[in-house]
A and B are shown apart, each in its own frame.
Chain A
Amino acid sequence: MATLAPAPEPHIAQEGRRVLFRPGLVLKLVVLAILVVLIVGPMMGTVLSTLTPTAITAWSDVLVGRLAPNLFWWPLVNTMVIGVVCGVVCVLLGGFLAWAVVMTNIPFRMTIGVMATLPFMIPSFATALAWGGLFKNDRIGGDVGWLQGMGIDIPDWLAWGMVPTLVVLILHYFSLAFTIIAASLATVNSDLVEAAQIAGAKGRKILMGIILPVTTPALIAAGSLCFAGAVSNFAAPALLGLPVRMQTLSTRLFGMIEVGQTARGFVIGILLVLISALFLWLGNRAVSGRRSYATITGKGGRAKRFDLGTARWPLFAVAALILLCATVVPVIILLASSLAPSSAALFSNWTLHYWIGESTANIAQGTPGIWHNPDILWSTTVTLGLGLCVAFTGMFIGLLASYTTARYRSGWLSASIVQISFLPLLIPGIAFGAAYIAFFGAPIGPLPALYGTFAILVIAGTGYLLPFSVQTGRAVIQQVSGELEESARLTGASFARRMWAITVPLAIRGLAAGGILIFVKIIRDLSLVVLLFTPTMPVMSVLAYRYASEGFTQFAHAITVLILVLSIIATLISNRLQTKSQPWLKA
């Protein structure tokens, strides 16, 4: 027998190694360390900084002191109203559109489906600015909006405060609700509906008895995410509410830090985190144990669509109106008002001065057009650089974290990596920004203070968007079967080499898509960077916000248009990249 065997390899015995750690332990520890620096550290830093002997009075000031109603309780009431109304209305609107697109024969279904995902791509400060361009009245002076300019008297409640804030936020967040609910409705396969039909149920009964219960988890998830988004939103209440002194927790937090009362600001930030965390947790609790509904699907064909009959076109008109208001109208107003010298006459005397004009003393106090404005050009460079860096670091860490938790699932280390990486979802951007100032604002050991540097923007952006990058990374990793990687391990390839030669090439499509998503999210973000902004490191969204608050609306609108264009270009590039990167899929 022995003669048949190949010569035994002489080196085997020497190359063994003792397995000191469970597989993946080193990787888990590395990922956990990164998460601690990015997320846990800043949060702990914030909490601890309010507990120092000098700062601890901030808690009583905010909660029970003489100023408490103004500092906390009234903003809290406003915040809750915004959150609840926005959550409910977004679920109704998004649910209606999702139902129409997925389940009915409404005309132009596909177009409506695509349009309904767009508003979330338009930053809420863009919609808020557009609202001002349309409805601004003479209450606070300065230029009035187009409708007032046309001679229509706009009442204060429609121009400022709660109503416009709500409308703007709803027009922004219903798109998120649509995406979640549509995805869930799409899993209700035709078998479920047909089984109900065979049982004798008719349209209404099927909707109430089958479809609604099955999609309840999605409705609750959508509602709580819209709630959390709305309570932490900064741009809309800041642009539409602050001029008439309507404060929310996020504008209060911003104001406190701006005037140097950081301890009070941090306390408000911590309370804001607790509130949005509480509601997301409640939402999560309400749907836990029900989620399994969505996964029980057989092969199932496409559901037969409900025939809307004569209601087809009226319902289409409603859907089209909502979508036009949320997408086309704001963009037209922004574009027009970046060209019009006076927003009261939005469509006359158009000039390119605000885009390409040189400094002229009689227009906008001599501010040159954005093409010649060094501040804006520099901020564009910073913003693009920031987007690229965060997209890269975000996807890198996201891939590492999701790889670790997907391949080495067991143990409490894995569980804590998952939990911590989704923590930023609970933290409003502005509170996150505040936490970064608290943590990185002062030197840590030998490291210098990072406040005002490009690095802090990148680190904050990476940490803030980690839930998205981990989510994307996880979806990507799940597509690459563990055996593909294991068979590479058998060849003796190192971890880095396996990643580089096997996992990453297979995952590049998802990675590119995730990277672009992060890029778009960070370049149009205002709430995270508004506190980290410094004149030496300006970013476009904050610059637009500053211009808008100072009354230079044309510049604000021009920059916003630029951000929108960049977002669209980025999305197109990602689509192109995705189709080109995988020749082996083209068979």
Chain B
Amino acid sequence: MLELKSLTKFFGNVAAVRDVSLSVPDGAFLVLLGPSGCGKTTLLRMLAGLELPTSGQIVFDGQTVSDGDRQWQVDPAKRNSGLVFQSYALWPHMTVRGNVGWPLKVAGMDAAARTRRVDEVLAMLEILPLAERYPNEISGGQQQRVAIARTIAPKPGVLLFDEPLSNLDAKLRVEMRTELMRLHRATGATAVYVTHDQIEAMTMATHVAVVNKGRIEQFGTPQDLIDHPATAFVATFVGTPPNNIVPVVKTGWAGRLAGGIWASPRRWTTAWPCSGPRA
């Protein structure tokens, strides 16, 4: 179980994340979906332990790992989670084997076990033949696989992804999507995946949290979001094509379509508050 309790993060006076609460069961694939600058990466960095929340708690498997109220947190390396960076952040001076093996070395694993585990992970991602290459000698898609291999090698219970597919071309992106889902099933870890691409969210997630301006607009399954969007924002952000918003004017207990809206911008704006969840 992965649980966020009223998580809030301020940078100076700016609230990047406000009062976010949700929980997903073990093995879930949670996608944080939202436009750029909505706070989803900050949320992920708090999960990874790179940022300390201003208030609220993060709980992995019943154990609090970050507590903003007490300004207390477990070290990034000791919270049983792993992060795949958007830029991959491969260490350019280490070979593929070096990149995947170094975290294990830091964790104190002996050389023989390390080699075994690195080989196993590289084979799982089908990049074993590239083991002795440097990151600049392999393609973008292969670098992506190395980054994932490096993250799953220490067998974390929670896998964190920061827009991992955004640097790949369209075809590779679709392939890697499938690959990531396969890996997720194989490792059994809980995954938290940040993206602004609603197609990725809809195809991969078991749970989606739509984030906007630091708040969660809606939390549910992909099907929920399509069938029952909670806000106009969600309705326009998800689905292909997204929902149309039709302004209505409130008339007593019912409403009528706001006619002539194209001619009258003023009425367009007054009509907005009534565009309900099921518009």
Contacts and interface: CB of A to CB of B under 8 A. Distances in A.
Interface of A: 1-2, 4-6, 8-9, 11-13, 15-20, 481, 483-484, 486-493, 497, 501-502, 505-506, 582-585, 587
7 contacts: A2-B26, A4-B26, A4-B188, A12-B78, A489-B77, A492-B107, A505-B93
A13 B49 CA distance: 14
B273 interface: no
Nearest to B28: A1
Nearest to B103: A491
A108 to B, nearest CB: 35
B76 A1 contact: no
B79 A584 contact: no
A505 B28 CA distance: 39
Nearest to A21: B71
Interface stretch (B62-70, B234-242, B255-263): B62-70
Contacts of B89: 481, 483-484, 486-487
Nearest to B12: A410
| A-B CB proximity, top 10 nearest | A492-B77, A5-B26, A4-B27, A491-B103, A483-B89, A1-B25, A8-B61, A584-B134, A487-B89, A16-B74
Contacts of B82: 490
Interface of B is mostly: loop
B60 A5 contact: no
A19 B73 contact: yes
Given A15-B74, A506-B92, A584-B135, 13 more contacts: A5-B61, A5-B157, A6-B188, A9-B157, A12-B63, A13-B63, A487-B83, A490-B50, A490-B76, A491-B77, A492-B103, A493-B106, A583-B134
Contacts of B63: 8, 12-13
Contact of A497 (B28, B87, B91, B106): B106
Contact of A584 (B61, B136, B187): B136
Contacts of B77: 489-493
B78 A501 contact: no
Contacts of A5: 26-27, 61, 157, 188-190
B80 interface: yes
A2 B25 CA distance: 7
A582 B157 CA distance: 36
B134 to A, nearest CB: 4
Contacts of A497: 106
Given A491-B77, A506-B93, A584-B93, A18 B106 contact: no
Interface residues of B, number: 51
Contacts of A492: 75-78, 103, 106-107
Given A6-B157, A16-B72, A582-B93, A487 B79 contact: no
B16 interface: no
A493 B104 CA distance: 10
Interface string B166-196: 0000000000000000000001111000000
B225 interface: no
A6 B155 contact: yes
A489 B50 contact: yes
Given A4-B26, A490-B83, A15 B78 contact: yes
B48 interface: yes
Contacts of B85: 483, 486-487
Contacts of A582: 93
Nearest to B206: A1
Contacts of A11: 78
Contacts of A493: 77, 106
B233 interface: no
Interface of B: 1, 25-28, 48-50, 52, 60-65, 70-80, 82-83, 85, 87, 89-93, 102-103, 106-107, 134-137, 150, 154-155, 157, 187-190
A12 B91 contact: no
Nearest to A583: B134
B72 A18 contact: yes
Contacts of B136: 584-585, 587
Contacts of A18: 70-72
Contacts of A501: 102
Contacts of A1: 25-28
A483 B60 CA distance: 24
A8 B78 contact: no
Nearest to B137: A587
A486 B44 CA distance: 14
A483 B188 contact: no
A582 B80 CA distance: 34
B93 A489 contact: no
Contacts of A4: 26-27, 188
B136 to A, nearest CB: 5
A330 to B, nearest CB: 42
B72 A484 contact: no
Residue among B25, B70, B89, B90 with the most chain A CB within 10 A? Answer: B89
A5 B103 CA distance: 22
A195 B74 CA distance: 57
Given A6-B155, A492-B77, A13 B28 contact: no
B80 A8 contact: yes
B65 A12 contact: yes
B63 to A, nearest CB: 5
Contacts of B154: 491
Nearest to A20: B71
Nearest to A585: B136
Given A15-B78, A587-B137, A484 B107 contact: no
Residue among A17, A483, A490, A582 with the most chain B CB within 10 A? Answer: A490
A2 B89 CA distance: 32
A319 B79 CA distance: 65
Contacts of A12: 60, 63, 65, 74, 78-80
Given A490-B48, A492-B76, A483 B93 contact: no
Nearest to A7: B157
A187 B199 CA distance: 42
Contact of B87 (A2, A19, A20, A483): A483
A312 to B, nearest CB: 42
Contacts of B134: 583-584, 587
Contacts of B52: 19
B192 to A, nearest CB: 14
